Structure 1
Amino acid sequence: SLLATLATAPICLGRRCGVPAISPLVQYNEKIINGHNAVPGSWPWQVSLQTRSGSHFCGGSLITMPGRAPPYSHVVVLGEYDLTSNSEYLQVKTVSRAVTNPNWNPNTLNNDITLLKLSSPAKLGPRVSPVCLAPANLVLPTNLPLVTTGWGRISTTCTYAPALGRQVVLPLISPSQCTQYWGNRITSSMLCAGGVGASSCQGDSGGPLVYQNGNVWTLAGIVSWGNSNCNVRWPAIYTRVSQFRNWIEYVVSQG
């Protein structure tokens, strides 16, 4: 696959969401090249999906919780920043249920979203809290600055995840612009962002693409796919969360 075949976002429809207790440092007017390290704990909805041996393989966003845990082979790690640290207070959760959108197409990568129900409730605090979900049918303006975060590869020659969580500001690209790069692969279930010297890459898949409104951060997209060598001059593709807001609420209501 390119970036990933599945955008895995653990669930959470919290009453208070999208307001980090630790403020992120985002400078929208700087010329972002390849991103930089995030302030520790400033993206408290960012989770790391890991093997049981502790190897990070993709990201996710905390959006709810509860349930019993079957023997899934992966775990969800909340509160992570430094993958090499043994001193961070982490919450490691198994997964009690995984629900992939019924219209997911592994050939076209369309409708690329899976909800993971955590085995037990996350303990919310300064370094673990949910992001807000984009409302259904949300229309965002072209060139809106968006932020994506994660532990994905930082260069085409790097084969391992960086130790520290990173962030980068990317502009939203219009569908018409996006089709100039990707043709008819682009659907209404996708967002296009980047192409200005930075990109998501392998290991970021499933992670958040958020925008700020006042002091509230909202999940607009989920890292999905892109150029196989993470070409920073090509925009990457993100699952359009607003397209799935009603489906998410339906799945959550079913427990």
Structure 2
Amino acid sequence: PPPLPPQMLWLLFVTLPCLGASGSLTAPHCASPGPGLGPELVGTDGDHDIPAGKWPWQVSLRVFNEECDRWQHECGGSLVHPQWVLTAAHCVGLWVTLAAPLLRLYDHDQLHNVTEIIRHPKFNVSLSAWGGADIALLRLEAPVMLSQHVNPVSLAPDSLALSPGTKCWVTGWGTFGTTFPCFPPCPFPQAEVPIVENQVCEKIYRQGSPAGGHGSVIKKDMLCAGRRGRGSRQGDAGGPLVCFWLDMWIQVGVLSWGMASGHIDYPAVYTRVMTYSSWIYQHVPLWP
């Protein structure tokens, strides 16, 4: 696709991941933000509170809703450098906004200019996420101020091989694959999900997915993760899948697409970061 012209894009970095709404096409309602959480706890995982700063790289992409007259959450993303954000290419349109670590979505948001959008050249707009290469980079006008609550995530090396069953974590605002928004400010969930082998994932999607057509549903640049009943309902499109490896958190996937079904447990499908590490570092300086 032709390069995107510069647009008025904004990136909001929240001190902790607590943004709301989903990566779906359903626009969030215009409900007024409610009171924020306290400074030490910002989300939930079932019955457990998520401590502030646990996922300091989480980002929220925003689109401008004219009816609500404000920027609203549409997709997730991750801070991979003080001046760069990684997300899904299908999330990046003409009028988009971004957000990263704060206490609650729409609670004391702080916006930062985004000056450049780089979608992978092999991303096909017509095929969207199903076509692969669903990955994009966004450059901020200036580096963000880092702290214990705002910090980049390391990217998995291209040599990393993930074994099926490896437990990783997906984060976001928990509505990916649904059609309803939450009432802002929204709680920030996290979910532990196992890696699903690509051939197994392919067979699952072949059971009833219209995504198949001709050729493979799950491309080589994709990876799958999910557990029974929660495969594609955690996190936001464009958001990170991270694994704990060699005493550090590394990002292995960018949430791309998925399906929901009452009788089939579809894993969520991610863009495989390892496939694109060389392309990412063509644009993003090594850090730290």
**TM-score tier after normalising by the smaller chain length:** 0.7 to 0.9
For the residue of structure 2 that corresponds to 1:242, the secondary structure is: helix
Q: Please, which of 96, 101, 115 is the counterpart of residue 96 of structure 1?
A: 115
User: 5+ residue gaps in structure 2?
Assistant: 1-21, 26-39, 65-69, 85-93, 207-215
Deviation of the 1:164 alpha carbon: 1.7
User: What is the aligned partner in structure 2 of residue 240 from structure 1?
Assistant: 272
> Which range moved further: 214-223 or 199-208?
199-208
Residue type matched to 2:258 in 1?
Answer: G
User: 8 Å contact 1:137–1:243 — kept in the other structure?
Assistant: no
Number of residues of Structure 1 aligned to a counterpart in Structure 2: 223
Give the alignment of 1:44-123 within 5 angstroms.
44-51=56-63, 53-66=70-83, 73-86=95-108, 91-106=110-125, 107=127, 108-123=130-145
User: What is the aligned partner in structure 2 of residue 18 from structure 1?
Assistant: none
User: What is the aligned partner in structure 2 of residue 149 from structure 1?
Assistant: 171
User: What is the aligned partner in structure 1 of residue 230 from structure 2?
Assistant: 198
CA distance in 1, matches of 2:183, 2:204: 27
Distance 1:4 1:128, change over 3 A: same
For the residue of structure 1 that corresponds to 2:81, the secondary structure is: coil
> Which range moved further: 38-47 or 124-133?
38-47
CA distance in 1, matches of 2:277, 2:192: 24
User: What is the aligned partner in structure 2 of residue 125 from structure 1?
Assistant: 147
For the residue of structure 2 that corresponds to 1:192, the secondary structure is: strand
Residue type matched to 1:206 in 2?
Answer: G
User: What is the aligned partner in structure 1 of residue 200 from structure 2?
Assistant: 177
Q: Please, which of 133, 158, 162 is the counterpart of residue 136 of structure 1?
A: 158
For the residue of structure 2 that corresponds to 1:146, the secondary structure is: strand
Can you list the C-alpha shifts for 1:5-49, whole angstroms capped at 9, x where unaligned?
9xxxxxxxxxxxxxxxx99999xxxxx9x8976333210000111
For the residue of structure 2 that corresponds to 1:112, the secondary structure is: coil
- TM-score, with normalisation over the residues of structure 2? 0.67
User: What is the aligned partner in structure 1 of residue 91 from structure 2?
Assistant: none
User: 8 Å contact 2:194–2:225 — kept in the other structure?
Assistant: yes
CA distance in 2, matches of 1:161, 1:238: 27
User: 8 Å contact 1:47–1:80 — kept in the other structure?
Assistant: no
Residue type matched to 2:188 in 1?
Answer: G
CA distance in 2, matches of 1:230, 1:156: 13
User: 5+ residue gaps in structure 1?
Assistant: 6-21, 27-31
For the residue of structure 2 that corresponds to 1:99, the secondary structure is: strand
- TM-score, with normalisation over the residues of structure 1? 0.75
User: What is the aligned partner in structure 2 of residue 14 from structure 1?
Assistant: none
Residue type matched to 1:129 in 2?
Answer: N
User: 8 Å contact 2:198–2:224 — kept in the other structure?
Assistant: yes
User: What is the aligned partner in structure 2 of residue 40 from structure 1?
Assistant: 52
User: 8 Å contact 1:195–1:236 — kept in the other structure?
Assistant: no
CA distance in 2, matches of 1:61, 1:109: 22
Residue type matched to 2:58 in 1?
Answer: Q
